[in-house]
Amino acid sequence: MKQISFDCIFVLILLFCSGCVSSSISDSVALIEKEGDLQNNTANYRSVNQNVLSRIQALRNSHNITEKTNSQAITDSQSYTFVYNLYNKQLNYDDKIRIISLLVNKNKTFIINIAPAQGANTLDQLALSIARAEALRQYINHFNKRVTIKFAPKLSPNTINLVIGT
């Protein structure tokens, strides 16, 4: 009887210490950790893809606008309105590309009327409007230097109005 109990204890110790059970548990834990890392990486790739996707869409829009502009003649006087995001000094990509596609014709006169920005007080509004005008001037000067930018307090806030004439 002593021998059987000793053999049972020996077999149990041998099973627990052999590593067969512990290695299968560690393999399962490692597999679960890899799946968690894969899901985290997939979420990161999706956020990067959204950024790339928005830029690709802006390029597609610019191509479509350029084709439309080239296929249609610009009439005597046209007006386009663009809207800034709140407290933002730059226009979004689509609007920038659309403005440049309109400014390509060097035989026309261009006037950009910029409205006051929204702000806590009049000084903040004017400061943001001036910053927007400077950023817009720097961007436009690469393509057309004959553009006049004017301050137009009667326009609705956070907008600019591009007027194309002969």
Q: What is the 3-state secondary structure (H, E, C) of 99-153?
A: HHHHCCCCCCEEEEEECCCCCCCHHHHHHHHHHHHHHHHHHHCCCCCCEEEEECC
Cβ atoms within 10 A of the Cβ of 119, count?
A: 16
pLDDT score of 73: 46
Q: How far apart are CA 90 and CA 154, in angstroms?
A: 21
Cβ atoms within 10 A of the Cβ of 124, count?
A: 14
Query: Under a CB-based contact definition with an 8 Å cutoff, are residues 123 and 130 in contact?
Result: no
Mean pLDDT is lowest, of 14-23, 93-102, 113-122, 147-156, for 14-23
Phi, psi of 39 (to 5 degrees): -70, -40
What share of the chain has pLDDT > 90, as a percent?
1
Chain segment 86-129, per-residue pLDDT in tens: 778 888 888 888 888 888 876 788 889 998 888 788 888 888 88
SS3 assignment, position 89: coil
pTM: 0.52
* Dihedral sign for Cα atoms in the order 6, 9, 11, 17: negative
Distance set, CA 67 to CA 78, 104, 122 (Å): 18, 12, 41
- Stretch (H or E) spanning 15: helix 2-17
